[in-house]
Structure 1
Amino acid sequence: MSARSSGATTLNGTEEGAAVRAFWERLGLPGLVDVHTHFMPERVLDKVWAYFDSVGPLTGMEWPIAYREEEDRRIALLREFGVRTFTSMLYPHKPGMAEWLNGWAADFASRTPDCVHTATLYPEEGVESYVRRAVDNGARVFKSHLQVGAYDANNALLDPVWGLFAEAGIPVVMHCGSGPAPGKYTGPEPIAGLLARHPRLPLIVAHMGMPEYTDFLDLAERYPQVRLDTTMAFTDFSERFSPFPVSERGRLADLAERVLLGTDFPNIPYPYLHQLEALERLELGDDWLRAVCYENGARLFLRARP
Protein backbone atom coordinates (compact mmCIF):
# COMPACT_ATOMS: atom_id res chain seq x y z
CA MET A 1 0.00 0.00 0.00
CA SER A 2 1.43 3.37 -0.91
CA ALA A 3 1.78 6.23 1.53
CA ARG A 4 -1.40 8.28 1.95
CA SER A 5 -2.11 11.61 3.54
CA SER A 6 -4.96 12.96 5.69
CA GLY A 7 -3.64 16.49 5.49
CA ALA A 8 -0.91 16.85 8.10
CA THR A 9 -0.39 13.10 8.65
CA THR A 10 1.22 10.76 6.14
CA LEU A 11 1.48 7.05 6.96
CA ASN A 12 2.49 3.91 5.17
CA GLY A 13 0.44 0.74 5.58
CA THR A 14 2.40 -0.66 8.54
CA GLU A 15 2.36 2.66 10.38
CA GLU A 16 -1.35 3.16 9.79
CA GLY A 17 -2.22 -0.31 11.06
CA ALA A 18 -0.27 0.35 14.24
CA ALA A 19 -1.88 3.78 14.66
CA VAL A 20 -5.41 2.43 14.19
CA ARG A 21 -4.77 -0.35 16.71
CA ALA A 22 -3.31 2.17 19.16
CA PHE A 23 -6.53 4.19 18.86
CA TRP A 24 -8.84 1.38 20.00
CA GLU A 25 -6.37 -0.13 22.45
CA ARG A 26 -6.20 3.21 24.27
CA LEU A 27 -9.98 3.03 24.67
CA GLY A 28 -9.76 -0.50 26.09
CA LEU A 29 -11.68 -1.98 23.17
CA PRO A 30 -11.17 -5.41 21.57
CA GLY A 31 -11.21 -3.80 18.11
CA LEU A 32 -13.62 -1.92 15.86
CA VAL A 33 -16.99 -2.66 14.27
CA ASP A 34 -17.39 -0.90 10.91
CA VAL A 35 -20.95 -1.02 9.59
CA HIS A 36 -20.25 0.68 6.25
CA THR A 37 -17.55 -0.93 4.11
CA HIS A 38 -17.84 -1.94 0.47
CA PHE A 39 -17.13 -5.32 -1.10
CA MET A 40 -18.79 -6.28 -4.38
CA PRO A 41 -18.10 -8.20 -7.59
CA GLU A 42 -14.90 -7.02 -9.23
CA ARG A 43 -16.51 -5.74 -12.41
CA VAL A 44 -19.06 -3.77 -10.38
CA LEU A 45 -16.40 -2.29 -8.12
CA ASP A 46 -14.35 -1.31 -11.18
CA LYS A 47 -17.33 0.72 -12.41
CA VAL A 48 -17.76 2.33 -8.99
CA TRP A 49 -14.10 3.31 -8.98
CA ALA A 50 -14.39 4.64 -12.52
CA TYR A 51 -17.27 6.83 -11.32
CA PHE A 52 -15.16 8.25 -8.51
CA ASP A 53 -12.26 8.76 -10.89
CA SER A 54 -14.50 11.04 -12.94
CA VAL A 55 -16.32 12.62 -9.99
CA GLY A 56 -14.28 15.82 -10.18
CA PRO A 57 -16.03 17.08 -13.30
CA LEU A 58 -19.39 15.83 -11.97
CA THR A 59 -19.30 17.43 -8.53
CA GLY A 60 -16.29 19.72 -8.55
CA MET A 61 -14.28 17.46 -6.20
CA GLU A 62 -11.33 15.18 -6.78
CA TRP A 63 -11.95 11.79 -5.15
CA PRO A 64 -8.85 9.58 -5.29
CA ILE A 65 -9.53 6.04 -4.01
CA ALA A 66 -7.17 5.53 -1.04
CA TYR A 67 -7.38 1.71 -0.97
CA ARG A 68 -7.39 0.66 -4.62
CA GLU A 69 -6.22 -2.85 -3.78
CA GLU A 70 -7.12 -6.43 -4.68
CA GLU A 71 -9.96 -7.93 -2.63
CA ASP A 72 -7.73 -10.15 -0.48
CA ARG A 73 -5.51 -7.20 0.37
CA ARG A 74 -8.48 -5.04 1.33
CA ILE A 75 -9.74 -7.75 3.69
CA ALA A 76 -6.25 -8.11 5.14
CA LEU A 77 -6.04 -4.36 5.73
CA LEU A 78 -9.27 -4.30 7.74
CA ARG A 79 -7.94 -7.17 9.82
CA GLU A 80 -4.63 -5.34 10.31
CA PHE A 81 -6.63 -2.37 11.56
CA GLY A 82 -8.37 -4.61 14.09
CA VAL A 83 -11.84 -4.37 12.53
CA ARG A 84 -13.60 -7.33 14.14
CA THR A 85 -16.58 -7.22 11.83
CA PHE A 86 -17.52 -5.27 8.74
CA THR A 87 -20.07 -5.30 5.91
CA SER A 88 -20.15 -5.76 2.14
CA MET A 89 -22.33 -2.79 1.21
CA LEU A 90 -23.41 -3.31 -2.41
CA TYR A 91 -26.29 -1.86 -4.38
CA PRO A 92 -28.01 -2.04 -7.77
CA HIS A 93 -28.60 0.90 -10.06
CA LYS A 94 -31.24 -0.82 -12.21
CA PRO A 95 -33.81 -3.65 -12.11
CA GLY A 96 -32.65 -7.25 -12.38
CA MET A 97 -29.38 -6.67 -10.57
CA ALA A 98 -30.11 -6.99 -6.85
CA GLU A 99 -30.74 -10.72 -6.68
CA TRP A 100 -27.48 -11.45 -8.52
CA LEU A 101 -25.60 -9.16 -6.12
CA ASN A 102 -27.19 -10.98 -3.19
CA GLY A 103 -25.88 -14.29 -4.49
CA TRP A 104 -22.38 -12.86 -4.69
CA ALA A 105 -22.66 -11.37 -1.19
CA ALA A 106 -23.82 -14.69 0.29
CA ASP A 107 -20.74 -16.39 -1.17
CA PHE A 108 -18.49 -13.58 0.08
CA ALA A 109 -19.90 -13.89 3.61
CA SER A 110 -19.44 -17.67 3.57
CA ARG A 111 -15.72 -17.28 2.83
CA THR A 112 -15.19 -14.19 4.98
CA PRO A 113 -16.42 -15.00 8.50
CA ASP A 114 -15.76 -11.52 9.89
CA CYS A 115 -18.06 -9.95 7.28
CA VAL A 116 -21.71 -9.53 8.26
CA HIS A 117 -23.82 -11.24 5.59
CA THR A 118 -25.08 -8.22 3.61
CA ALA A 119 -27.77 -8.00 0.94
CA THR A 120 -29.51 -5.34 -1.12
CA LEU A 121 -32.77 -4.55 -2.93
CA TYR A 122 -34.45 -2.56 -5.67
CA PRO A 123 -38.13 -1.65 -6.19
CA GLU A 124 -39.07 -4.23 -8.81
CA GLU A 125 -41.40 -7.16 -9.27
CA GLY A 126 -40.22 -10.03 -7.08
CA VAL A 127 -38.32 -7.87 -4.58
CA GLU A 128 -40.22 -9.27 -1.58
CA SER A 129 -39.46 -12.84 -2.66
CA TYR A 130 -35.72 -12.42 -3.17
CA VAL A 131 -35.38 -10.37 0.01
CA ARG A 132 -37.09 -13.16 1.96
CA ARG A 133 -34.76 -15.69 0.35
CA ALA A 134 -31.76 -13.60 1.35
CA VAL A 135 -33.02 -13.39 4.93
CA ASP A 136 -33.67 -17.13 5.02
CA ASN A 137 -30.13 -17.58 3.68
CA GLY A 138 -28.71 -15.63 6.62
CA ALA A 139 -28.58 -11.97 5.53
CA ARG A 140 -28.33 -9.77 8.62
CA VAL A 141 -28.08 -6.28 7.13
CA PHE A 142 -29.32 -4.70 3.88
CA LYS A 143 -28.12 -1.76 1.84
CA SER A 144 -30.47 0.71 0.14
CA HIS A 145 -28.97 3.47 -2.01
CA LEU A 146 -31.66 5.96 -2.96
CA GLN A 147 -29.18 8.23 -4.73
CA VAL A 148 -27.54 5.67 -7.03
CA GLY A 149 -30.72 3.62 -7.50
CA ALA A 150 -32.80 6.78 -8.10
CA TYR A 151 -35.86 5.31 -6.39
CA ASP A 152 -38.34 6.39 -3.76
CA ALA A 153 -38.18 4.57 -0.42
CA ASN A 154 -41.97 4.90 -0.39
CA ASN A 155 -42.43 2.87 -3.56
CA ALA A 156 -45.31 0.48 -2.88
CA LEU A 157 -43.23 -2.50 -4.03
CA LEU A 158 -40.94 -1.98 -1.04
CA ASP A 159 -43.62 -1.72 1.64
CA PRO A 160 -43.66 -5.49 2.40
CA VAL A 161 -39.85 -5.44 2.62
CA TRP A 162 -39.78 -2.62 5.18
CA GLY A 163 -42.44 -4.48 7.14
CA LEU A 164 -40.33 -7.65 7.04
CA PHE A 165 -37.27 -5.79 8.34
CA ALA A 166 -39.29 -4.18 11.12
CA GLU A 167 -40.74 -7.52 12.19
CA ALA A 168 -37.41 -9.38 12.02
CA GLY A 169 -35.30 -6.56 13.44
CA ILE A 170 -32.98 -6.57 10.41
CA PRO A 171 -31.27 -3.20 9.90
CA VAL A 172 -31.07 -1.46 6.54
CA VAL A 173 -28.25 0.99 5.88
CA MET A 174 -29.77 3.64 3.65
CA HIS A 175 -28.03 6.38 1.71
CA CYS A 176 -30.91 8.83 1.95
CA GLY A 177 -29.18 12.17 2.56
CA SER A 178 -28.53 14.49 -0.36
CA GLY A 179 -24.73 14.44 -0.21
CA PRO A 180 -22.46 14.60 -2.05
CA ALA A 181 -25.00 15.56 -4.73
CA PRO A 182 -28.80 15.52 -4.32
CA GLY A 183 -30.95 12.90 -6.01
CA LYS A 184 -34.61 13.01 -6.96
CA TYR A 185 -35.62 10.94 -3.92
CA THR A 186 -32.99 11.91 -1.34
CA GLY A 187 -33.52 14.12 1.69
CA PRO A 188 -35.39 13.81 4.98
CA GLU A 189 -38.93 14.25 3.69
CA PRO A 190 -39.30 10.84 2.00
CA ILE A 191 -37.75 9.15 5.03
CA ALA A 192 -40.12 10.93 7.40
CA GLY A 193 -42.97 9.49 5.35
CA LEU A 194 -41.42 6.03 5.38
CA LEU A 195 -40.97 6.04 9.16
CA ALA A 196 -44.48 7.33 9.73
CA ARG A 197 -45.71 4.10 8.12
CA HIS A 198 -42.98 1.83 9.53
CA PRO A 199 -41.97 3.35 12.88
CA ARG A 200 -40.17 0.16 14.00
CA LEU A 201 -37.97 -0.06 10.91
CA PRO A 202 -34.33 -0.53 12.04
CA LEU A 203 -32.96 2.19 9.79
CA ILE A 204 -29.28 3.16 9.76
CA VAL A 205 -28.92 6.53 8.07
CA ALA A 206 -25.65 6.49 6.12
CA HIS A 207 -23.25 9.43 6.32
CA MET A 208 -25.19 10.89 9.28
CA GLY A 209 -27.72 12.06 6.66
CA MET A 210 -25.20 14.47 5.13
CA PRO A 211 -25.86 17.33 4.50
CA GLU A 212 -29.29 17.33 6.21
CA TYR A 213 -27.73 16.43 9.56
CA THR A 214 -30.25 18.28 11.72
CA ASP A 215 -33.30 16.79 10.04
CA PHE A 216 -32.01 13.24 10.38
CA LEU A 217 -31.07 13.83 14.02
CA ASP A 218 -34.72 14.91 14.48
CA LEU A 219 -35.88 11.58 13.02
CA ALA A 220 -33.49 9.62 15.23
CA GLU A 221 -34.86 11.38 18.30
CA ARG A 222 -38.42 10.65 17.19
CA TYR A 223 -37.95 6.97 16.28
CA PRO A 224 -36.01 4.69 18.68
CA GLN A 225 -34.99 2.24 15.94
CA VAL A 226 -33.28 4.89 13.81
CA ARG A 227 -29.47 4.97 13.96
CA LEU A 228 -26.86 6.98 12.08
CA ASP A 229 -23.47 5.91 10.77
CA THR A 230 -20.47 8.21 10.76
CA THR A 231 -19.34 7.42 7.21
CA MET A 232 -17.18 10.31 5.94
CA ALA A 233 -18.83 12.74 8.37
CA PHE A 234 -16.59 15.09 10.39
CA THR A 235 -13.54 14.41 8.14
CA ASP A 236 -11.51 17.23 6.62
CA PHE A 237 -12.75 16.15 3.19
CA SER A 238 -16.45 16.40 4.06
CA GLU A 239 -16.16 19.42 6.32
CA ARG A 240 -15.05 21.45 3.29
CA PHE A 241 -18.41 21.11 1.55
CA SER A 242 -20.79 19.78 4.22
CA PRO A 243 -19.70 20.83 7.71
CA PHE A 244 -21.46 19.27 10.65
CA PRO A 245 -23.02 22.05 12.77
CA VAL A 246 -21.05 22.57 15.97
CA SER A 247 -24.34 23.43 17.68
CA GLU A 248 -25.58 19.86 17.12
CA ARG A 249 -22.72 18.07 18.88
CA GLY A 250 -24.73 17.85 22.10
CA ARG A 251 -27.37 15.88 20.25
CA LEU A 252 -24.68 13.43 19.11
CA ALA A 253 -23.82 12.91 22.76
CA ASP A 254 -27.47 12.36 23.67
CA LEU A 255 -27.77 9.75 20.89
CA ALA A 256 -24.54 7.99 21.85
CA GLU A 257 -26.12 4.52 21.76
CA ARG A 258 -27.40 5.02 18.20
CA VAL A 259 -24.36 6.34 16.37
CA LEU A 260 -22.29 3.68 14.60
CA LEU A 261 -18.83 3.71 13.09
CA GLY A 262 -18.90 3.65 9.30
CA THR A 263 -16.05 4.58 6.98
CA ASP A 264 -16.83 3.82 3.29
CA PHE A 265 -13.60 1.79 3.06
CA PRO A 266 -12.09 1.33 0.50
CA ASN A 267 -13.72 4.18 -1.45
CA ILE A 268 -12.32 7.03 0.63
CA PRO A 269 -9.91 9.79 -0.43
CA TYR A 270 -7.92 9.75 2.86
CA PRO A 271 -6.54 7.16 5.31
CA TYR A 272 -8.88 4.99 7.39
CA LEU A 273 -7.23 6.44 10.49
CA HIS A 274 -8.52 9.91 9.65
CA GLN A 275 -12.15 8.88 10.22
CA LEU A 276 -11.22 7.84 13.76
CA GLU A 277 -9.25 11.04 14.34
CA ALA A 278 -12.24 13.04 13.12
CA LEU A 279 -14.48 11.36 15.69
CA GLU A 280 -11.98 11.92 18.48
CA ARG A 281 -11.66 15.63 17.78
CA LEU A 282 -15.40 16.09 18.36
CA GLU A 283 -14.37 15.93 22.05
CA LEU A 284 -17.42 13.95 23.11
CA GLY A 285 -15.38 11.74 25.45
CA ASP A 286 -13.98 8.24 25.58
CA ASP A 287 -17.28 6.62 26.58
CA TRP A 288 -18.87 8.07 23.44
CA LEU A 289 -16.00 6.83 21.29
CA ARG A 290 -16.24 3.34 22.82
CA ALA A 291 -19.96 3.21 22.09
CA VAL A 292 -19.62 4.45 18.52
CA CYS A 293 -16.52 2.55 17.46
CA TYR A 294 -17.40 -0.83 18.93
CA GLU A 295 -20.20 -1.30 21.44
CA ASN A 296 -23.19 -0.17 19.37
CA GLY A 297 -22.16 -2.20 16.34
CA ALA A 298 -21.33 -5.20 18.50
CA ARG A 299 -24.84 -5.20 19.94
CA LEU A 300 -26.23 -5.34 16.41
CA PHE A 301 -23.84 -7.74 14.71
CA LEU A 302 -21.68 -9.62 17.19
CA ARG A 303 -24.34 -10.94 19.57
CA ALA A 304 -24.44 -14.32 17.80
CA ARG A 305 -20.66 -14.64 17.59
CA PRO A 306 -18.05 -15.51 20.24
Structure 2
Amino acid sequence: MKLLRVGPAGREKPAILDADGHIRDVSSLIDDWDGPALADAVLDQLRKIDLASLPILPAASRVGPCVAGVGKFICIGLNYADHAAETGAAVPAEPVVFFKATSAICGPNDNLEIPRRSEKTDWEVELGIVIGKQTKYVRDEDALDHIAGYCIIHDVSERAFQLEGTGQWVKGKSADTFGPIGPWLVTRDEVADPHALSMWLDVNGEAMQRGSTSTMIFSVPHIVSYLSQFMSLQPGDVISTGTPPGVGLSRTPPRYLRSGDVVTLGIQGLGDQKQLCIDA
Protein backbone atom coordinates (compact mmCIF):
# COMPACT_ATOMS: atom_id res chain seq x y z
CA MET A 1 0.00 0.00 0.00
CA LYS A 2 0.95 3.63 -0.53
CA LEU A 3 0.03 5.57 2.58
CA LEU A 4 -0.10 9.35 2.64
CA ARG A 5 -1.46 12.29 4.59
CA VAL A 6 -3.24 15.16 2.87
CA GLY A 7 -4.59 18.54 3.91
CA PRO A 8 -3.36 21.78 5.50
CA ALA A 9 -0.30 21.57 7.72
CA GLY A 10 -1.30 20.25 11.12
CA ARG A 11 -4.72 19.12 9.90
CA GLU A 12 -3.78 16.31 7.50
CA LYS A 13 -6.06 13.33 6.95
CA PRO A 14 -4.71 9.78 6.57
CA ALA A 15 -5.22 8.40 3.08
CA ILE A 16 -4.28 5.56 0.74
CA LEU A 17 -3.39 5.89 -2.93
CA ASP A 18 -5.47 3.37 -4.88
CA ALA A 19 -4.46 1.49 -8.02
CA ASP A 20 -6.03 4.19 -10.23
CA GLY A 21 -4.14 7.02 -8.55
CA HIS A 22 -7.09 8.27 -6.49
CA ILE A 23 -6.42 9.47 -2.96
CA ARG A 24 -8.83 7.59 -0.68
CA ASP A 25 -9.75 9.05 2.72
CA VAL A 26 -9.24 6.48 5.52
CA SER A 27 -9.88 8.85 8.42
CA SER A 28 -13.07 6.92 9.25
CA LEU A 29 -10.90 3.85 9.93
CA ILE A 30 -7.79 5.26 11.62
CA ASP A 31 -6.90 8.53 13.30
CA ASP A 32 -3.60 9.09 11.50
CA TRP A 33 -0.54 7.35 10.06
CA ASP A 34 1.27 7.40 13.38
CA GLY A 35 3.02 4.66 15.34
CA PRO A 36 -0.04 2.59 16.40
CA ALA A 37 -1.50 2.62 12.87
CA LEU A 38 1.72 1.16 11.40
CA ALA A 39 1.44 -2.17 13.21
CA ASP A 40 1.29 -5.21 10.93
CA ALA A 41 -2.12 -6.19 12.32
CA VAL A 42 -3.62 -2.79 11.48
CA LEU A 43 -2.12 -2.73 7.99
CA ASP A 44 -3.31 -6.29 7.32
CA GLN A 45 -6.87 -5.26 8.21
CA LEU A 46 -6.69 -2.26 5.90
CA ARG A 47 -5.57 -4.47 3.02
CA LYS A 48 -8.93 -6.21 3.25
CA ILE A 49 -10.90 -2.99 2.80
CA ASP A 50 -12.56 -2.26 -0.54
CA LEU A 51 -10.87 1.05 -1.29
CA ALA A 52 -13.57 1.91 -3.82
CA SER A 53 -15.98 2.28 -0.91
CA LEU A 54 -13.93 5.12 0.61
CA PRO A 55 -14.29 8.82 -0.27
CA ILE A 56 -11.93 10.33 -2.85
CA LEU A 57 -10.01 13.39 -1.72
CA PRO A 58 -9.23 16.17 -4.22
CA ALA A 59 -6.19 15.39 -6.35
CA ALA A 60 -4.89 18.91 -5.77
CA SER A 61 -4.80 18.46 -1.99
CA ARG A 62 -1.57 19.40 -0.24
CA VAL A 63 0.43 16.30 0.64
CA GLY A 64 1.89 16.35 4.13
CA PRO A 65 4.68 14.26 5.64
CA CYS A 66 3.68 10.61 5.27
CA VAL A 67 4.18 9.81 8.98
CA ALA A 68 2.68 11.66 11.95
CA GLY A 69 4.03 11.98 15.47
CA VAL A 70 7.60 10.97 14.64
CA GLY A 71 9.47 10.32 17.87
CA LYS A 72 13.01 10.01 16.51
CA PHE A 73 14.51 11.21 13.23
CA ILE A 74 17.78 9.29 12.92
CA CYS A 75 20.23 9.66 10.05
CA ILE A 76 23.16 7.65 8.74
CA GLY A 77 26.09 9.56 7.25
CA LEU A 78 28.56 8.50 4.56
CA ASN A 79 26.62 5.33 3.80
CA TYR A 80 27.20 5.23 0.03
CA ALA A 81 30.60 4.10 -1.21
CA ASP A 82 30.52 6.50 -4.17
CA HIS A 83 29.46 9.43 -1.98
CA ALA A 84 32.23 8.71 0.54
CA ALA A 85 34.69 8.66 -2.37
CA GLU A 86 33.54 12.05 -3.71
CA THR A 87 33.97 13.65 -0.28
CA GLY A 88 37.41 12.13 0.18
CA ALA A 89 36.25 10.40 3.36
CA ALA A 90 37.31 6.90 4.33
CA VAL A 91 34.63 4.24 4.24
CA PRO A 92 33.39 4.09 7.84
CA ALA A 93 33.93 0.89 9.81
CA GLU A 94 30.45 1.17 11.32
CA PRO A 95 27.43 3.39 10.62
CA VAL A 96 27.86 7.10 11.29
CA VAL A 97 24.81 8.14 13.33
CA PHE A 98 23.34 11.60 13.86
CA PHE A 99 19.90 13.11 14.47
CA LYS A 100 17.70 15.69 12.82
CA ALA A 101 15.19 17.61 14.93
CA THR A 102 11.65 16.37 14.30
CA SER A 103 10.62 20.01 13.85
CA ALA A 104 12.46 19.88 10.50
CA ILE A 105 9.82 17.50 9.11
CA CYS A 106 7.51 18.91 6.43
CA GLY A 107 5.56 17.81 3.39
CA PRO A 108 7.32 16.62 0.22
CA ASN A 109 6.29 19.66 -1.82
CA ASP A 110 6.34 22.35 0.85
CA ASN A 111 8.63 25.33 0.41
CA LEU A 112 12.23 24.81 1.52
CA GLU A 113 13.38 27.64 3.78
CA ILE A 114 16.97 28.85 3.41
CA PRO A 115 17.98 29.70 7.02
CA ARG A 116 19.13 33.14 8.08
CA ARG A 117 22.91 33.54 7.69
CA SER A 118 23.03 30.46 5.47
CA GLU A 119 25.59 30.37 2.68
CA LYS A 120 25.85 26.62 2.15
CA THR A 121 22.41 24.98 2.08
CA ASP A 122 22.87 21.63 0.33
CA TRP A 123 20.69 18.81 -1.01
CA GLU A 124 20.68 15.04 -0.30
CA VAL A 125 18.12 12.55 -1.66
CA GLU A 126 17.82 9.59 0.73
CA LEU A 127 15.88 6.38 1.28
CA GLY A 128 13.85 6.55 4.46
CA ILE A 129 12.92 3.63 6.72
CA VAL A 130 9.83 3.86 8.94
CA ILE A 131 9.75 1.55 11.95
CA GLY A 132 6.56 -0.47 12.43
CA LYS A 133 7.02 -2.12 15.82
CA GLN A 134 9.08 -1.89 18.98
CA THR A 135 12.67 -2.77 18.12
CA LYS A 136 15.42 -3.52 20.64
CA TYR A 137 18.51 -5.70 20.22
CA VAL A 138 17.14 -7.11 16.98
CA ARG A 139 19.34 -9.32 14.78
CA ASP A 140 20.11 -8.40 11.16
CA GLU A 141 18.12 -11.39 9.92
CA ASP A 142 15.00 -10.30 11.82
CA ALA A 143 15.24 -6.56 11.25
CA LEU A 144 13.10 -6.30 8.11
CA ASP A 145 10.09 -7.59 10.08
CA HIS A 146 10.32 -4.44 12.20
CA ILE A 147 9.96 -2.07 9.24
CA ALA A 148 6.53 -0.68 8.28
CA GLY A 149 7.74 0.70 4.97
CA TYR A 150 9.93 3.08 3.00
CA CYS A 151 9.75 6.67 1.80
CA ILE A 152 11.76 9.47 0.22
CA ILE A 153 13.59 11.83 2.54
CA HIS A 154 15.30 15.04 1.47
CA ASP A 155 18.05 15.40 4.07
CA VAL A 156 18.68 19.11 3.55
CA SER A 157 21.93 20.30 5.15
CA GLU A 158 23.55 23.65 5.89
CA ARG A 159 27.22 22.76 5.55
CA ALA A 160 28.69 25.72 7.41
CA PHE A 161 26.38 25.10 10.37
CA GLN A 162 27.15 21.38 10.14
CA LEU A 163 30.91 21.35 9.66
CA GLU A 164 32.54 24.71 10.37
CA GLY A 165 31.56 25.35 13.98
CA THR A 166 31.82 23.34 17.14
CA GLY A 167 29.50 20.56 18.24
CA GLN A 168 27.57 17.94 16.33
CA TRP A 169 26.08 17.77 12.82
CA VAL A 170 22.56 18.27 14.19
CA LYS A 171 22.92 22.08 13.93
CA GLY A 172 23.30 21.89 10.16
CA LYS A 173 20.53 19.35 9.70
CA SER A 174 17.62 20.66 11.75
CA ALA A 175 16.33 23.95 10.37
CA ASP A 176 12.60 24.15 9.74
CA THR A 177 11.70 22.41 6.41
CA PHE A 178 15.04 20.53 6.30
CA GLY A 179 13.23 17.17 6.43
CA PRO A 180 10.65 16.74 3.64
CA ILE A 181 9.19 13.21 3.94
CA GLY A 182 6.97 11.44 1.43
CA PRO A 183 4.85 11.68 -0.63
CA TRP A 184 4.05 8.09 0.32
CA LEU A 185 4.97 5.56 2.93
CA VAL A 186 5.21 2.46 0.75
CA THR A 187 4.65 -0.65 2.86
CA ARG A 188 7.53 -3.10 2.90
CA ASP A 189 5.61 -5.81 1.00
CA GLU A 190 5.64 -3.54 -2.07
CA VAL A 191 9.41 -2.99 -2.03
CA ALA A 192 10.95 -6.26 -3.14
CA ASP A 193 14.55 -5.13 -2.61
CA PRO A 194 15.33 -1.82 -0.89
CA HIS A 195 18.92 -2.18 -2.11
CA ALA A 196 18.03 -1.99 -5.82
CA LEU A 197 16.29 1.38 -6.16
CA SER A 198 17.42 4.14 -8.49
CA MET A 199 17.40 7.65 -7.06
CA TRP A 200 17.84 11.15 -8.49
CA LEU A 201 17.83 14.84 -7.64
CA ASP A 202 17.76 17.91 -9.91
CA VAL A 203 18.13 21.63 -9.19
CA ASN A 204 16.35 23.93 -11.64
CA GLY A 205 16.08 20.98 -14.02
CA GLU A 206 19.83 20.26 -13.97
CA ALA A 207 20.88 16.76 -12.92
CA MET A 208 22.79 16.79 -9.64
CA GLN A 209 22.43 13.35 -8.08
CA ARG A 210 22.08 10.05 -9.90
CA GLY A 211 22.56 6.90 -7.89
CA SER A 212 21.23 3.65 -6.56
CA THR A 213 20.67 2.15 -3.14
CA SER A 214 22.84 -0.72 -4.42
CA THR A 215 25.94 1.27 -3.42
CA MET A 216 24.96 1.43 0.25
CA ILE A 217 27.81 0.43 2.56
CA PHE A 218 25.52 -0.72 5.38
CA SER A 219 22.32 -2.51 4.42
CA VAL A 220 18.81 -1.62 5.57
CA PRO A 221 18.55 -4.57 8.01
CA HIS A 222 22.02 -3.91 9.40
CA ILE A 223 21.20 -0.24 10.03
CA VAL A 224 18.05 -1.16 11.95
CA SER A 225 19.87 -3.86 13.90
CA TYR A 226 22.84 -1.61 14.64
CA LEU A 227 20.71 1.25 15.94
CA SER A 228 18.67 -1.11 18.09
CA GLN A 229 21.81 -2.06 20.04
CA PHE A 230 22.07 1.52 21.34
CA MET A 231 18.44 2.65 21.63
CA SER A 232 14.99 1.15 21.31
CA LEU A 233 13.22 2.07 18.09
CA GLN A 234 9.53 2.90 18.34
CA PRO A 235 6.73 2.59 15.78
CA GLY A 236 6.79 5.73 13.65
CA ASP A 237 10.49 6.43 14.13
CA VAL A 238 12.16 7.49 10.89
CA ILE A 239 15.66 6.56 9.71
CA SER A 240 17.35 8.31 6.78
CA THR A 241 19.93 5.98 5.28
CA GLY A 242 22.45 8.18 3.44
CA THR A 243 22.84 9.78 0.03
CA PRO A 244 24.51 8.94 -3.30
CA PRO A 245 27.12 11.21 -4.95
CA GLY A 246 26.37 14.63 -6.40
CA VAL A 247 25.85 16.84 -3.35
CA GLY A 248 26.65 20.53 -3.71
CA LEU A 249 29.55 20.40 -1.24
CA SER A 250 31.47 18.02 -3.50
CA ARG A 251 31.02 19.86 -6.78
CA THR A 252 33.81 21.94 -8.33
CA PRO A 253 33.27 24.69 -7.42
CA PRO A 254 30.79 23.89 -4.63
CA ARG A 255 27.20 24.83 -5.40
CA TYR A 256 24.48 25.59 -2.90
CA LEU A 257 20.79 26.39 -2.88
CA ARG A 258 19.50 29.95 -3.12
CA SER A 259 16.06 31.51 -2.85
CA GLY A 260 14.16 30.86 -6.08
CA ASP A 261 15.81 27.51 -6.84
CA VAL A 262 13.53 24.55 -7.45
CA VAL A 263 14.61 21.11 -6.23
CA THR A 264 13.02 17.93 -7.61
CA LEU A 265 13.95 14.45 -6.44
CA GLY A 266 12.67 10.89 -6.43
CA ILE A 267 13.31 7.23 -5.73
CA GLN A 268 12.12 4.33 -7.86
CA GLY A 269 8.69 3.18 -6.72
CA LEU A 270 8.47 5.71 -3.88
CA GLY A 271 7.29 8.79 -5.79
CA ASP A 272 8.90 12.20 -6.08
CA GLN A 273 9.18 15.57 -4.35
CA LYS A 274 9.39 19.20 -5.48
CA GLN A 275 10.41 22.18 -3.35
CA LEU A 276 10.72 25.88 -4.05
CA CYS A 277 13.52 27.49 -2.05
CA ILE A 278 12.57 30.66 -0.18
CA ASP A 279 14.29 32.81 2.42
CA ALA A 280 13.33 31.95 5.99
- TM-score tier after normalising by the smaller chain length: under 0.3
Q: Which has the higher helix share?
A: 1
Q: How does the TM-score come out when normalised to structure 2?
A: 0.27
Q: Which has the higher contact order (CA 8 A, sep 6+)?
A: 2
Q: How does the TM-score come out when normalised to structure 1?
A: 0.25
Q: Which has the higher strand share?
A: 2
